[in-house]
């Protein structure tokens, strides 16, 4: 896979996050029209922020999202943007979500950074900077 880099004023970046979150009590409520509407809402939130969805799976009792975002968006901000927005809209549109659950989403979530280069490769690259033939140790 070729690295997809984005640029902004003064930065080049490739930031991806795998975000997973669940309904309260892990209830299997993300089915049928609720699941379809959730997919739409996640897409809307990505469009609003300029983020891109790489992969999205809505399971009956949890959501997996692989999203690319800019460096100004922290992983917690990204997760909370999706959870807050989708909870508000889905509970307004589907009354059974209000009657069965005190809140739509559990308070927790999982997030992991996703990259094209392993941690070992980066560590090796940094540790061998002075071994490059065009560099001389101590040169300014």
Catalytic residue among 5, 25, 77, 125: 125
What is the distance between the alpha carbons of residues 3 and 32, in angstroms, rounded to a whole number? 35
- If we measure between CA atoms, which residue out of 57, 69, 53 comes closest to residue 8? 69
- Indicate if 125 belongs to the active site: yes
What is the distance between the alpha carbons of residues 11 and 8, in angstroms, rounded to a whole number? 5
For residue 121, give the H/E element and its range: helix 119-127
Task: State the catalytic residues.
Answer: 125
């Amino acid at each position: 896979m070729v690295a997809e880099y984005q640029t902004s004023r003064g930065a080049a970046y490739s930031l991806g996050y795998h975000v997973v979150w669940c309904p309260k009590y892990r209830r299997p409520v993300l089915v049928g029209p609720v699941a379809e509407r959730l997919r739409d809402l996640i897409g809307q939130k990505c469009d609003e922020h300029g983020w891109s969805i790489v992969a999205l799976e809505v399971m009956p009792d949890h959501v997996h999202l692989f999203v690319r975002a800019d460096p100004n968006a922290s992983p917690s901000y990204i997760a909370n943007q999706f959870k807050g927005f989708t909870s508000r809209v889905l509970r307004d549109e589907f009354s059974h979500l209000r009657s069965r659950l005190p809140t739509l989403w559990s308070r927790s979530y999982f997030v992991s950074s996703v990259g094209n280069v392993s941690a070992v490769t980066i560590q090796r690259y940094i540790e061998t900077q002075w071994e490059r033939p065009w560099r001389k140790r101590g040169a300014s």
